Structure 1
Amino acid sequence: MLHFKKTKTWPLLLVSFALTFLISLCVFAALKMAPFGTSSILANDSAVQYIDFFTYLKHALAGTAGKAYSFSNSLGGGMYANWTYYLLSPFNLIFVLVSRHALPVAMLFVTALKYSAAAATAQCYASHHAGARWYTLVFSISYGLSGFLVANFLNIMWMDGVILLPLVVLGIDRLFETHRIMPYVLPLSLSFITNYYIGFMIAIFAVLYFGWRWAIQHQTHLLRKIGLFAGGSLLSGMLAAVVLIPTYFALAASRLSSAGADFSVKALYSLLDLPSKFIPGSFNFDQLSNGLPNLYMGMIALLGAVCYFLAASIPVRERLVSGGLTLLLILSIWLNPLVLIWQGFRAPVWYLYRHSFIVIFWLLILGLRGLAHLPSVSRFRLGMASIATAGCLMIPTILRMATHKYVTALNLTLGGVFLLVAALLLYSIRSRLLPQKWLVSGIVILLVLDMGTNAFTSLKAISFVPAADFTVTSKVLQAGYDDAKKLSSGGFYRMNADSQRSMDDPYQYNFNGISTFSSVLNTSTINTLTNLGAIGSAGRVKNNDLTWPLESLLGVKQLLIVNTQSKKTGTKAYQQVASRIISNPRYDLSAYKLVGHNNYFNIYQNPDVLPVATQIYRKIPTQVQANPVLQQNSYFETLTPQANQTMLTTSDFSGISVDNVKPLTTLTNAVATKVNKKNAASITLTVNPTSEQQYLVMGENMRKNMAISINNIPVKNDPDTGSKTVSMPINSTKPTTITLTFNRGLNQIDLDHFALYTLNRTAFKQTIATAKQEAPQQRIQNGRVTLTTKANNSGYIMLTIPYEKGWQVNSKKVTLQNYRGFIGLKVPTSRSTFTLTYHTPGITQGWWLTIIGVLVAIGVTVYEYWPSNRRHLKQTKRI
């Protein structure tokens, strides 16, 4: 049997959990987050993405939203990657149990719970190696409130892997000590299941840690241990296969967005192309220094890590190997080629240093061992090391005060004080200047102040969303969408609105929409919609400024427009909703029918909306100019047997005048150049009065480089990619004025795709009527489409549902095709009924591997723990 010291360690487990939880709540209360104030813990992605997914989780588990497939996922999409990236944490069950309006408060407590759980698992690791020593609390609390967890409070789905990392490493230690693999297999497989992205990073570190354990001391039965480690890692992958395999297929189909991992040969060659990675801005100390807040681990733990390399009682061989691994981990934050490995061969988007929790945990391991061997560090070395550490931290920080907003005189002073007190306390313990219980009490107090202060000052610099911004806005929008649903005549349809809380409103309010913001959003969906005139970028697509013809094509039946005539305009709720208007004025509303209203929204219905499935008579030309109006024309031209008149045709401006701009002979794709580079410049255009609907198209460069106004009303811009299409005023008596003003500092602007288009209403109405008449009978559900075609049909059907490989059809006579990003069907020309069903790619293979893995794991557990098979365990070597 393994002879542990009889000192109980479980009280320290409770202390580390409770103390971390208390510090977290005190910090949140000091920041006045609900329920302790009017602010909230929501910020950035947690405010506009994650909280919507948690609401979707409530809908899905209640059976009111699609689980495997959802039409809230933009125009429709498989949901498996969303589940495995955002929603598989067991902590998320708390969100299911509370009301939607209480979600911000629930997220605060879940965040504190995850901080505390990370401290508790770290305490398990520390207690296993050091028993009930005082410095185990330094290890655990420093980990639970580390810079990574504090800085990534909003990326709440990453924290489960951080919680499990100490258990994975402890499992490797147990493998070396007892030759048992299940203590390693279970936490590693859970890290893959709860968040495959963070699990991938943990798997890399597991290999490095195993190598370190092998290298620091002589190992008996080495080949056996390598075999057990490799087998345990493989078994972990098998247990998590039901998550990993379908997720890989989903990410591969979406061309692997920022959350995924690209394991392709092309990605590997890109990684090996090292010279191209060492470019200005990629290989410098700024990248390292910018990540230092994420690496914060407390002054006591930091000095402990320094002491590790100075302790005479630690073998030189071990210190050299540890130094090499430390250097490698530090460089992995500094050098882009190494960063790419940790990120799954994919450059991170926005949030950098995502694997810094690995570096923190490693340094804390060194700190734990260093504090354990503190008596072997001479007082002279300890003093000089403290001075050197202060210099290495303070001097670069002072030099960067002007360029790094998080570096303030107060933070610098507090850091210096904490470092000085930590050095004095460690020096006193080393020299036994005072009773140890006094010194340990001082260290615990310093630890609480140090980690709490860092958390407070770090979070104080962030702009948090007021609690009412979520609760009030959500209540109003939910009422608006509920009213719209009541006014619908049934059947499948999509909805749109000119005001939204976030791009993930379809998840929040459980309706079929257009917009989505997700790190695993299918790239094909983004490209299809942006080509048609939506605005989007990596991981997102937006629903603002869509044309009436485009909404008709996409099946947008209902439209919610903020009610400017409401008697509630002076209320906070109305102002919240009005402040979130995303679209420019909809001058084409005369085409819609007002069917209802409430205090905040007018509800319109589109009489010309097309069904999801329509007959098509010809394919869209392969080469279509990158212009959203021309794209829309091409789709509509396929809907009738004969090519009718073009839906949208170019119109000339009736007048043009320039101010400090060289004369222009044409506008579309022309280059506008200043005459005098120092002065302002603008172009003024006029449009003759008309009763026909017109749209102004401007390319992405124009939106970024010009301020544009229509009749002196500024056109709202958008930072994401894609051309913008805005409706023009309909006025039969007064001309419309368009003003294009150069942005400051720009001397030349490409007027890419800039043009005025007029809708041929007669041709449009005829096309809509024909398409509706010839459309197949259809029943649309999440992940299931049943169609009945007419006799003597064209033989081809298009569905405005994004094409994915998971769709299957139950008829051999029907062929699935990718029709420029949408589902296309080649069908018999005779009347027929068939069903398309969505099956998550890879789910069957994943389940079979997981089932086999579970059976193997049960067998291994019985073998390792059955009394007759227990092997004599060697005594654990203490730190």
Structure 2
Amino acid sequence: MTISKMKLKYSSLFFVPFVVMLGVFLSLGLTPFSQNSIHSGDFLSQYFPLYIGLHKLFWSGDFSGLFWSFEKSLGGAMPSVWGFNSLSPFTFLYVIFPISSFQVLSYVIPLLRAGVMGVVFGYFLEKKFQGVSKHYWLSLGLASSYALSGFVVSQQYNPNFLDNLVYIPFILLGIEEVASGKRSVKLPLFLAISLITDFYTGYMMCLFVALYTFYVVFSKDISLKEATLKLAKVALFALIGVGLAAFWLLPVFSALLESKASAGSTFAWSWNSVNDLVAMPQKFILGSFGEKEWGDSKALPQLFIGGLGLFGVCTFFAKKEITLRKKLAATVVLLVLLLSFSIQGFDQIWHMGQRPVGFYFRNSWVANSFMLVLASESLMQWKDEFRLNEFLVAIFGFGSILVLSTLRILQYVETSQKILSFIIWTIILLAFFFRRAERVRRLQLTAGVVIVELMVSSFVGFRRAPYFIGNAGLKEQMEFAMAFDKEGYSNPNPFTRMEMHKGLSHANFPIAFGYNGASHFTSSLEHELIEEMSHLGLPTSQSVVNYTNRNVILDSLFGVSRFMMEGDEKRVFADVRGMYAKEGAMKNFAIYRNPYAFSLGYLTNENTATNIAFEKNQPVANINQLLQVIGLSGTNALSEVSVQEPATTNLTKGQEKYTLTNEGESAKIEWKFNLQPNKLYFVEIPERQAGSVIKSKVMLNGIGYPYENRFHENQLWMIGNGNLDQTITFAIEDAKAKEWDLRGFKFYTIDITTLANALTQYKKANDITIESYTNAMVKAHVTVTNSEQSFATFTIPYHSGWSVTVDGKKQEVKKALGFFMGVSLTEGEHEIVWRYTPPGLHLGMLISISSLLLLIFLWKKHKNE
């Protein structure tokens, strides 16, 4: 079988970026089995666990997990999670292949993505300019520049920002086809795919569609009426694309309204500058990426598109074959993009009304793509002759970048990078303007030089990645995911919850391992859940809930029946060692069973359950409100312990605060007191001193205390059990803070027997039997014998998508225990059924079906015409 020349050319467009990326990985010593992986940033803590979870979701057959999951903290809406973290075809490779292959897949997928980007941009060049067939070497250089741009390299470990680069060529071709009156479904189809696979960058794609449509329409010398008709037609097909995605988009935006939007942040216009315009041109220099950029609010957009792309952009504005109208239209689009990178208000528009938290200018791919389109316009109609104006513009473009680089010093743009860029740009100028050698040889040289430039840029950029995560971390997650299945802890039946004590990288383990947990990490975590968990003294932040500082009270009321702890038993929380039964072990974790854990639902007093309202920075008072549910209050609840003033070293006591005596030395603060038998002890850590605590060592009886340093509010830590230890020494060592206010450090206790008896008796009398459940349905049975305890509280976070029926009749859903759900009952035997329907799903399906019918109608109408 013979392979056509075009197939070979397209194959090369795939393999060149693929091999360049592979060469960079190997040159850095990165393989699927090396000590370090190719990944960095949030990949281990956010993306990889979700890929495992997506695999388990599809093979479980419970597709309702796409919309709601009890594995997202105590339960939460999932469209915004899956929609932000990408449902791209590359992600679905994790669904198709077994979990045991994920370590290799995570290495191969970035290579495949780069190769596909090269092919699709080559397809764009061929359809628009016959680029691959007639200008192969230029197409190879441009396609490789597209696949290995500065944005792709710098964001390689944020895969959800990259998949739109696969769709852009089809969408841009679709815009041009629709505007020219051709029959086309590329725009609505790929815009819908873009919005479904990642709504966040899909939103940016919609803005890009508007800009590119302006460029295409106003580049033509047509009347205003004709231009308006073309704009309207493109807008119609774009809206059809949005409509096709509505079945998914409306549930996504509904979930966002009850998560990020509920945080109360509103868009406020600002003309503040967000970066340095003089320094920005240096981002066109190879390797212009720094390890600290991801968290620097003054970071610059990733604009590197290779020397060939930059040359094409410069000469675009000097080329006489390109009309003045097209140049003016391109200038307007570039100015809009420049404003978007420079002014906070414009920047926030691109990021859905907010400035990102880290990884700034996630819309850089828009600028890169548009600039490479302009470069293609120029280079694909290049006349092999010396034109002084084109030569001078190219010299000015390259030269101005180097001159401006002397005015601003960027740590990640070294002199060697400037020199190498100068050499590469010089070779490109010689290849295009000095024509002694055969044209094809000069273009081959250009393509080869640019590919080398892209390889060096990728190598330098990857070498400066914020940090490479170890392959051991990926392997550990894979092994645990399989172990949870083997041991029967995944998809537990009947319903149970469990948690493990570990750091942030394990916040998404419930989803990865398939158990109902309490921790979660995602940018779209429900804000109310974060707030309420913070009120209870748990470590949280804008996008994280870590159930690490749990205690037997919260475990029992939230139904956490198992707790996993790594390491020496002495490091296990005192209530776990004293009150839980050690059940076994899984790898390096000990598993403890909580005998007091309630069911997912239990009967409560309606007045008590519905009138609980937590206050900020009052974790003890808030937990005491929960204890009232089981009949504990006053001295039977958490009570403050009077302790002596701490012993201090290198601190001088003032009227209200302690100050560092000798600033060159560290300080120590130590509380030591005797424990009473049969008592649990806690310490409250004030949020206002969190920064000082984090920079110190926290020690409990000489061992480092395993806390999570995410202080959204005051935290409450379990520190002692009078049946296990006679004394406590709680210390803050190696303290560097100049000032300490120790008044907020308070100690509390509760009687173990009183608490255990109350929990046991309450569970026996009020637990509700869960007969069956999925992520979208809970069926329960209960017999109410006491009208004072006739309110069924379910520890499902309150969400508008849930409805409830009692004995087949729909009932009102009420808030319970501050942020859960409940329903009123009468005395007698009842069947309770909770069902979750994603808000917006039905309307979205109607819109999607209507949009599909409209698209079919327009397609057929155009065919008949």
Paired residues of 1:818 and 1:824 also in contact (CA < 8 A): yes
Cα distance change, pair 57–308 in 1 and its aligned pair in 2 (3 A): same
Match of 1:165 among 152, 165, 168: 168
| C-alpha RMSD of the superposition | 3.0
Question: Tell me, what secondary structure is at the counterpart of 1:804?
Answer: coil
Q: Which moves more between the two structures, 609-618 or 832-841? A: 609-618
1:68 equivalent in alignment to 2:67: yes
Paired residues of 2:497 and 2:562 also in contact (CA < 8 A): yes
Q: Which moves more between the two structures, 384-393 or 629-638? A: 384-393
Match of 2:526 among 498, 522, 529: 522
Structure 2 distance, partners of 1:489, 1:304, is 59
Match of 2:680 among 671, 693, 705: 693
Match of 1:833 among 826, 831, 834: 831
1:374 to partner: Cα distance: 4.2
Structure 2 distance, partners of 1:293, 1:409, is 20
Q: Which amino acid aligns with 1:173?
A: E
Question: Tell me, what secondary structure is at the counterpart of 1:41?
Answer: strand
Question: Tell me, what secondary structure is at the counterpart of 2:839?
Answer: coil
Cα distance change, pair 687–286 in 1 and its aligned pair in 2 (3 A): farther
Q: State the match for 1:808 in structure 2.
A: 803
Q: State the match for 1:791 in structure 2.
A: 785
Cα distance change, pair 490–671 in 1 and its aligned pair in 2 (3 A): farther
Q: Which moves more between the two structures, 505-514 or 216-225? A: 216-225
Q: Which amino acid aligns with 1:714?
A: G
Question: Tell me, what secondary structure is at the counterpart of 1:90?
Answer: coil
Question: Tell me, what secondary structure is at the counterpart of 1:535?
Answer: coil
1:343 equivalent in alignment to 2:343: no
1:104 to partner: Cα distance: 2.7
1:535 equivalent in alignment to 2:539: yes
Match of 2:506 among 502, 505, 524: 502
Structure 2 distance, partners of 1:202, 1:598, is 45
Q: State the match for 1:97 in structure 2.
A: 96
Paired residues of 1:311 and 1:373 also in contact (CA < 8 A): no
Cα distance change, pair 598–752 in 1 and its aligned pair in 2 (3 A): same
Question: Tell me, what secondary structure is at the counterpart of 2:832?
Answer: strand
Q: State the match for 1:711 in structure 2.
A: 701
1:716 to partner: Cα distance: 4.3
Q: Which amino acid aligns with 2:803?
A: Q
Structure 2 distance, partners of 1:112, 1:679, is 50
Deviations 1:694-748 (A, max 9, x none): 111102232321323333333345442333333224467753223335843x333
Map 1:613-624 to 2 at 5 A.
Answer: 613-617=601-605, 618-619=608-609, 620-622=611-613, 624=615
Question: Tell me, what secondary structure is at the counterpart of 1:740?
Answer: strand
1:58 to partner: Cα distance: 1.3
Q: Which amino acid aligns with 2:452?
A: L
Q: Which moves more between the two structures, 17-26 or 247-256? A: 17-26
Cα distance change, pair 79–45 in 1 and its aligned pair in 2 (3 A): same
Q: State the match for 1:212 in structure 2.
A: 215
Cα distance change, pair 352–584 in 1 and its aligned pair in 2 (3 A): farther
Question: Tell me, what secondary structure is at the counterpart of 1:42?
Answer: strand
Q: State the match for 2:286 in structure 1.
A: none
Structure 1 distance, partners of 2:348, 2:216, is 25
1:818 equivalent in alignment to 2:826: no
Map 1:726-741 to 2 at 5 A.
Answer: 726-730=717-721, 735-740=727-732
Q: State the match for 2:11 in structure 1.
A: 14
Q: State the match for 2:206 in structure 1.
A: 203
1:592 equivalent in alignment to 2:585: no
Match of 1:248 among 253, 256, 262: 253
Cα distance change, pair 546–399 in 1 and its aligned pair in 2 (3 A): farther
Paired residues of 1:584 and 1:715 also in contact (CA < 8 A): no
Deviations 1:628-671 (A, max 9, x none): 2222111111233x857442111011453344545478xxxx64
Structure 1 distance, partners of 2:207, 2:562, is 49
Match of 2:340 among 329, 332, 336: 332
1:756 to partner: Cα distance: 0.5
Paired residues of 2:791 and 2:825 also in contact (CA < 8 A): yes
Q: State the match for 1:875 in structure 2.
A: none
Cα distance change, pair 457–84 in 1 and its aligned pair in 2 (3 A): same
Match of 1:424 among 416, 424, 430: 430
Structure 2 distance, partners of 1:392, 1:333, is 19
Paired residues of 1:790 and 1:831 also in contact (CA < 8 A): yes
Unaligned runs of 5+ in 1: 1-6, 566-580, 870-879
Question: Tell me, what secondary structure is at the counterpart of 1:249?
Answer: helix
Paired residues of 1:43 and 1:465 also in contact (CA < 8 A): yes
Question: Tell me, what secondary structure is at the counterpart of 1:805?
Answer: coil
Structure 2 distance, partners of 1:203, 1:357, is 13
Q: State the match for 1:512 in structure 2.
A: 516
Structure 1 distance, partners of 2:760, 2:476, is 41
Structure 2 distance, partners of 1:251, 1:170, is 32
Structure 1 distance, partners of 2:856, 2:810, is 46
Cα distance change, pair 292–623 in 1 and its aligned pair in 2 (3 A): closer
Q: State the match for 1:41 in structure 2.
A: 38
Cα distance change, pair 813–837 in 1 and its aligned pair in 2 (3 A): closer
Structure 1 distance, partners of 2:71, 2:634, is 34
Question: Tell me, what secondary structure is at the counterpart of 2:784?
Answer: coil
Deviations 1:28-72 (A, max 9, x none): 232333347443233221222111111111111112663432211
Q: State the match for 2:453 in structure 1.
A: 450
Q: State the match for 2:640 in structure 1.
A: 650
Paired residues of 1:662 and 1:675 also in contact (CA < 8 A): yes
Structure 2 distance, partners of 1:246, 1:474, is 30
Percent identity reads 22
Structure 1 distance, partners of 2:164, 2:400, is 31
Structure 2 distance, partners of 1:244, 1:681, is 54
Structure 2 distance, partners of 1:586, 1:162, is 52
Paired residues of 1:246 and 1:841 also in contact (CA < 8 A): yes
Q: Which moves more between the two structures, 501-510 or 407-416? A: 407-416
1:298 to partner: Cα distance: 0.2
1:768 to partner: Cα distance: 0.7
Q: State the match for 1:860 in structure 2.
A: 858
Question: Tell me, what secondary structure is at the counterpart of 2:682?
Answer: strand
1:127 to partner: Cα distance: 1.7
Paired residues of 2:300 and 2:361 also in contact (CA < 8 A): no
Cα distance change, pair 842–10 in 1 and its aligned pair in 2 (3 A): same
Question: Tell me, what secondary structure is at the counterpart of 1:33?
Answer: coil
1:679 to partner: Cα distance: 5.8
Q: Which moves more between the two structures, 222-231 or 540-549? A: 222-231
Q: Which moves more between the two structures, 372-381 or 504-513? A: 372-381
Deviations 1:658-695 (A, max 9, x none): 44545478xxxx64444666664443322123332211
Map 1:347-426 to 2 at 5 A.
Answer: 347-375=355-383, 379-397=387-405, 400-401=408-409, 404=411, 406-426=412-432
Paired residues of 1:615 and 1:771 also in contact (CA < 8 A): no
Cα distance change, pair 202–659 in 1 and its aligned pair in 2 (3 A): same
Query: TM-score scaled to structure 1, two decimals?
Result: 0.87
Cα distance change, pair 110–482 in 1 and its aligned pair in 2 (3 A): same
Q: State the match for 2:848 in structure 1.
A: 850
Question: Tell me, what secondary structure is at the counterpart of 2:813?
Answer: strand
1:168 to partner: Cα distance: 0.9
Match of 2:483 among 462, 479, 484: 479
Deviations 1:399-441 (A, max 9, x none): 555x53x32344333323222222222223xxx2210121111
Cα distance change, pair 37–676 in 1 and its aligned pair in 2 (3 A): closer
Cα distance change, pair 543–508 in 1 and its aligned pair in 2 (3 A): same
Cα distance change, pair 600–741 in 1 and its aligned pair in 2 (3 A): closer
Between Structure 1 and Structure 2, how many residues are aligned? Answer: 821
Paired residues of 1:545 and 1:726 also in contact (CA < 8 A): yes
Match of 2:767 among 769, 775, 784: 775
Structure 1 distance, partners of 2:109, 2:664, is 55
Structure 2 distance, partners of 1:254, 1:36, is 38
